[in-house]
Amino acid sequence: MISMWSQFVSYIPDWTTFMQAGLTLLIPIIICYSFRSLHSMIKEQNSTEKRALSTDSSGETSGSKLAGDYKSDVELIKQAIGNNCDVHFREFIMGGYEVGATLIFVAGMQAAEHINTQVLQILMMNAEKDSKDNKSLPSNSELSAYMKQKLLPVCEIKEVVDIRDLNQSILNGHIALFIEGMPNALVMSMPNEKTRSITEPTSEALIRGPRIGFTEVLSENTAILRRQGRTENLEMTMYEVGNYLKRNLVVAYMKDIVNLDLLEEVKQRISKMDMDYFAESGYVEQLIEDNILSPFQQGQNTERPDRVISALLEGRIAILLDGTPFALIVPVTFSMLLQSPEDYYERWIPGTLLRILRFFAAFMALMAPALYISFISFHPGLIPTELAISIIEARQGVPFPATIEGLILAISLEILREAGIRLPKPIGPAMGIVGGLIIGEASVQAGIVSPFLVIVVAFTAISSFSIPMFSAGITLRILRFVGMLFAGTLGMYGTVLFFLLICSHLTKLKSFGVPYVTPISPFRINDWKDLFLRAPLPLMKQRPDMMKTQQKKRRS
């Protein structure tokens, strides 16, 4: 018995092993806690600011009303916004009735001839004919109704009493009309906003597929969405966002497909958003995302209406912001970032092949330099002999270890790419030649880098270009550097560790409650039809399981 016990004891490791095990256990715990505290710190700051601001804005909303007196009202407006050089006050006498009137508008935001023909001409001349029947103007309250019904042939017209409302609509391009004896102002809109024409989306070009892209005007974008197909189920809800400069935001979804909990969550997050100004849909994306610290995007931005509409049909939700051609699609899963609409437009075999190719390219964009470094610096036995010999020969006289060498080349490539975006278009190609050919060739000749690394880095760069989502490409580019550092310190072990780290992060990540790598990690076999493989269309009978849609079937 005692001998058995002593034998048992002999197998218990000494205290250093336990110590090491304990320390190793501490690492994930510490990382987890520090990330959590960092996360909550950011969230806390956000919410405290919001409270302060909301009290501010509530005081502002109780705006004053128009007094009803023509002269003092116009004077009030003049005081409020009359200092602006582009706000025009056009005073005239209404023909026939001989009462004073003022037209207030911002120059350049309306079609001038419409003002002339549809407002001024009618009020100054046509009203004269009318006055012969009536002799006198209707009394105060009936005047505005009379104007709307009989005189002004304008589609969008409404009465406004609130001064703040009035000021804002004038500055937004509406025309305000004051008439002596009318207690309120009439606001008409004859917008003549300068917009660009609808062009092909430049950030997501396709060979086959519609050439239409969103523009900066929200109403046009929603109209484009409506024009994708006739349905009464496409519902769009308007929100006003921005505390200081206000903008419209539209949440679009299919009301009989979308998961209602998801819709509720999106709406709630949008109403919670708090920012003085939303310059681009990226603001929205960053304010409603789940994990701020993740390198992966949690909203897909796209310029393509066809992409948006097919996402809506899968049960996702689109967020469109005024002033930007980029719509946001939430929730996002990882596979979406590597899919292109063309996968569906082409037949399923080329679609599948291209998609698998893209997965491979994404893997290479992430891992190729890390693998190269770990092979070169740690595991020379894993390289085929002939290649090993020629690498040794080529690397004779290269002064830096592979990690530093890789970082030099990868960073200079990133600089090149960044510079290429900034440069005016005619210089762009010249830049590519100087950067790519001359620097690459010369640095090999000078012996700073080895030609193999140039191949690896160039291959990585090309791979990262093949990813259809630009922002997903950036993510992989950032992570590539982390991978290189891991490989440089721990070799293949580090590379595998790095890959596992990314995998574990991705499995934990959620976008609006939908797991990020969902058909893979919460395993859903039905959704695999549209993951690596793009199944033939007749086989894709159901909407994605992961979206938990109201309607499961795609077919009637």
Partner 1 sequence: MCRRQLLNLMLIMGVLLTQTGCWSSFEIEDLSLYGGLALDEGEPTETEQDLNKQGGSYPRKNLITATIQIVPVNSFGSKSKSDKGHTAQYLNISETGDSLLEILRQYSVRLERMVIGHHLKVIIISTKLAQKQSMDQILDFVLRDNDIRPSCTVFLSEGKAMDVLEASRPGEVSAFRIQGMLRNHYRTSKVMKGVNLSQLDALMNSKRSFVLQNIISTKKDLEFAGAGIIKGETGNWIGSLDQPDVESISWIKGEVQGGAIKSYTEKNVPVIYEIKSMKSKMKAKVQGDDISFHVDIQSQGRFTENWDIKNDPSKAQFMEEAEKIFEKRLSQMIDSLMWKMQSKYKVDVAGFGECLSIQHPHVWKKVKDHWDEEFSQIPVTFDIKLKITDFGSSLK
Is the CB of 348 or the CB of 493 nearer to partner 1? 493
Q: Does 370 bind partner 1 (CB under 8 A)?
A: no
Alpha helices for 62-89 (secondary structure H): 70-81
Binding mask 436-475 for partner 1 (x = CB under 8 A): -----------x----------------------------
Nearest approach, Cβ of residue 293 and partner 1 (Å): 13
Q: Which helix (H) or strand (E) holds 105?
A: strand 99-106
499 binds partner 1, rule: CB under 8 A: no
Helix pair angle (281-288, 260-272), 10° resolution: 110
Query: Which of 95, 488 has the CB closer to partner 1?
Result: 488
Q: Which residue lies nearer to partner 1 by CB, 17 or 489?
A: 489
Sole binder of partner 1 in the list 146, 493, 499, 528 (CB under 8 A): 493
Q: How far is CA 543 from the centre of its chain?
A: 24
Q: Which is nearer to partner 1, 266 or 367 (CB)?
A: 367
- Interaction mask 225-264, partner 1, x per CB under 8 A: ----------------------------------------
The reply to whether 371 sits near partner 1 by the rule CB under 8 A is no
Distance of CA 38 to the CA centre of its chain: 24
Choices 7-15, 203-211, 369-377, 514-522 (CB under 8 A): range interacting with partner 1: 369-377
The contacts found for 404-409 with CB under 8 angstroms, 24 or more apart, are: 405/448, 405/449, 405/450, 405/453, 406/369, 406/372, 406/373, 406/453, 406/456, 406/457, 406/484, 406/488, 407/481, 407/484, 408/448, 408/449, 409/443, 409/449, 409/453, 409/454, 409/457
Which is closer to partner 1, CB of 5 or CB of 15? 15
30 part of the interface to partner 1, by CB under 8 A:
yes
Question: For residue 162, what are its two tokens?
Answer: 């609130």
Alpha-carbon Rg of the chain, whole angstroms? 32
Could you say whether residue 521 binds partner 1 (CB under 8 A)? no
Helix (H) or strand (E) holding 106: strand 99-106
Q: Is residue 13 part of the contact set for partner 1 (CB under 8 A)? A: no
498 binds partner 1 (CB under 8 A): no
ω into residue 331 within 30 of 0, thus cis? yes
556 lies in the site for partner 1, by CB under 8 A: no
Cβ neighbours for 461, distance < 8 A, ≥ 6 positions apart: 413, 417
Q: Is 476 in the site for partner 1 (CB under 8 A)?
A: no
Q: How far is the CB of 396 from partner 1 (least distance, A)?
A: 6
Q: Is 45 in the site for partner 1 (CB under 8 A)?
A: no
Tell which one of 158, 255, 395, 510 touches partner 1 (CB under 8 A): 395
d(CA 493, CA 203): 37
Q: Near partner 1 by CB under 8 A, which window of 21-29, 72-80, 210-218, 475-483?
A: 21-29
202 binds partner 1 (CB under 8 A): no
Rounded to a whole number of angstroms, the minimum distance from the CB of residue 497 to partner 1 is 10
> The tokens 């009137």 sit on which residue?
101
Minimum CB separation from partner 1 for residue 345, in Å? 46
539 is a contact residue toward partner 1 (CB under 8 A): no
Helices (H), 206-259: 218-227
Tokens representing residue 137 in the block:
């103007």
Instruction: Choose, by CB under 8 A, the member of 1, 23, 207, 421 that binds partner 1.
Output: 23
Q: Which stretch binds partner 1 (CB under 8 A): 100-108, 385-393, 410-418, 422-430?
A: 385-393
Instruction: Copy the structure tokens of residue 40.
Output: 């909550």
- In the chain, the N- to C-terminal Cα span, in Å, equals 75
Q: Which residues are registered as beta bridge partners of 105? A: 88
* Residue with Cβ nearer partner 1 (341 or 491): 491
Give yes or no for residue 143 binding partner 1 (CB under 8 A). Answer: no
Between the CA of residue 227 and those of 220, 224, 231, 309, what are the distances in Å? 10, 5, 10, 10
Supply the DSSP symbol for 153: -
Say whether residue 16 binds partner 1 (CB under 8 A): no
What letter would DSSP give residue 528? G
Stretch that binds partner 1, among 31-39, 260-268, 313-321, 420-428 (CB under 8 A): 31-39
Q: With respect to partner 1, which residue has the nearer C-beta, 31 or 93?
A: 31
Nearer residue to partner 1 within complex by CB, 172 or 377: 377
Q: Which of 112, 392, 455, 478 binds partner 1 (CB under 8 A)?
A: 392
Q: In the bound complex, what is the minimum distance in angstroms from residue 111's beta carbon to partner 1?
A: 56
Q: Are 61 and 176 in contact (CB under 8 A)?
A: no
We find the least distance from the C-beta atom of residue 481 to partner 1, in angstroms, to be 17
Contacting residue, 68, 350, 380, 513, with partner 1 by CB under 8 A: 380
Shortest separation between residue 390's beta carbon and partner 1, angstroms = 8
Which region, left, alpha or beta, applies to residue 494 given φ > 0 means left and ψ of -120 to 50 means alpha?
alpha
Q: Which long-range contacts (CB under 8 A, 24 or more apart) does 281-288 make?
A: 281/319, 281/320, 281/321, 281/324, 281/326, 281/327, 281/328, 282/326, 283/321, 284/241, 284/249, 284/319, 284/321, 284/328, 285/328, 288/330
Residues 6 or more apart in contact with residue 473 via CB below 8 angstroms: 365, 464, 465, 467
Which residues here bind partner 1, judged by CB under 8 A?
23-24, 26-27, 30-31, 34, 37-38, 41, 375-378, 380-383, 385, 388-389, 391-393, 395-398, 401-402, 447, 488-491, 493
